[in-house]
Amino acid sequence: MAKHCRSGGNLEVMGMLCGKTAGDTFLVLDCFALPVVGTETRVNAQAEAYEYMVSFVQARQQVGRREHVIGWYHSHPGYGCWMSGIDCSTQLLNQQYTEPFVALVIDPVRTCASGRVNVGAFRTFPLGYSPPDDTRLKYQTVPTNKIKDFGVHANQYYCLNTSFFKSSRVSAVLAAAWNNYWVNTLSSSPLHTNQTFVAGQITDIAEKVMLSDCLESPHQKKNSVCTSKVAAAQHCKLLLSAYDGSIISMEQTKGSASRALKESIFNFAVKPGKVLSNQGTLVRER
C-alpha cells in the first residue's frame, strides 16, 4: 500500500483491502490498487473502477484466494492521516451496504520522511449519532489549506488502533531484501532526503503564525476588543505552531546526530604512528 501511494506522487491514489475479521478486529492480509486517477485533493472510484474490482475479486477466488474485501485505502500525500468530507461519505456508504468495512489513509510523504509507515484506520459514525467528547481525534500537523476540512468533519468518524504482523515467509523475504540493500539504507541521510518536506513544513508553520491575530500591530490592537476566549484561542494556535516546530527540530537533531555517529564510525582514520588496541583505544607504536 505504501509503495502504491508513493507512486502517485502528489496525486491521491486508491485501492481495496482484502482479509477477514476476528471479533472486532480487521485483519488485512492483502490489497490491490484500483485504476483511479485522483487529484491533489481528492480521489473517488467511478463505474470503471467498480467493474475492475468485481472482476479482480472473482479472479482471486478462481485461484483459491478466499479473502473478502473488507475495506479501502487511499493516500494523503503530505497532509496527514484523517478523513475529508468525501472520504466520510464514501466510508458511510460502504458501511451501510458492505459491512464490515474499514478505511485506511496513508501519507506517503511523511512515511518516507520518518522511515515508518504513516497510516490511520477509520470508521464513520451512523447518521444522526452525536459522538462524546472523548472520541475527538488526536492532534496532528495539518497544512494551512487543509485545516478547515480537517475540523469540519472530525466528529463524523473515529480512529482505530493499528498494528503490524508478518508471517515467517514475509520475514525471510524482508531479511533477504535487507541483505541486498542495507548499504543504501545505512548510507542514506534524512537531512538530504527530507529537504523538500522540511522546507514545506517550515513554510506552513510560518503561514500559521502570520495568520494568527496575536501578531497584530499595536495600532490595530488599540482599535480592537479582544475577549478572553479569543485571546485563549489565539494563544492555543501559537502553542500548536510551536509544537509543530519542536517536532521538526527534533527530527533534524536526530538526523544530525545520526550523520555524526556514522562519520565517527566509518570515516575514522588512524594517524600514522598509531594503532588500535583490542580495547579500541589508541596506543603509540615503539
Which residues, listed in sequence order, are joined to residue 282 by a DSSP beta bridge?
276
Cell numbers describing residue 229: 476566549
Q: Pairing relation of β-strands 14-22 and 25-33?
A: antiparallel
- Judge whether 164 and 129 are in contact, CB under 8 Å: no
- Judge whether 105 and 137 are in contact, CB under 8 Å: no
Q: Tell which residue, 150, 8, 124, 117, has the closest CA to residue 71.
A: 124
Instruction: Note the pLDDT tens digit of each residue in 220-279.
Output: 444 454 555 556 666 677 777 777 788 788 888 888 888 888 888 877 655 555 554 444
Q: b vs e for 92-109, b when ≥16 Cβ sit within 10 Å of the residue's Cβ?
A: bebbeeeeebbbbbbbbb
Q: b vs e for 199-236, b when ≥16 Cβ sit within 10 Å of the residue's Cβ?
A: eebeebbeebeeebeeeeeeeeeeeeeeeeeeeeebee
Residue type present at position 265: I
- Judge whether 19 and 26 are in contact, CB under 8 Å: yes
pLDDT tens, residue order, the chain (286 aa): 888 888 888 888 889 999 999 988 999 988 888 887 665 555 556 677 778 888 888 888 888 888 889 999 999 888 888 888 888 888 999 899 888 999 999 998 888 877 788 899 999 998 878 777 655 556 666 666 666 666 677 788 889 999 988 888 888 888 888 888 877 777 777 777 777 777 877 887 787 777 765 545 444 444 454 555 556 666 677 777 777 788 788 888 888 888 888 888 877 655 555 554 444 444 444 4
What is the C-alpha to C-alpha distance for residues 104 and 133, in angstroms, rounded to an integer? 23
What's the confidence (pLDDT) of residue 105?
93
Instruction: Note the pLDDT tens digit of each residue in 37-55.
Output: 665 555 556 677 778 888 8
What's the confidence (pLDDT) of residue 222?
46
What's the confidence (pLDDT) of residue 286?
46
What's the confidence (pLDDT) of residue 265?
80
Q: Tell which residue, 257, 245, 236, has the closest CA to residue 191.
A: 257
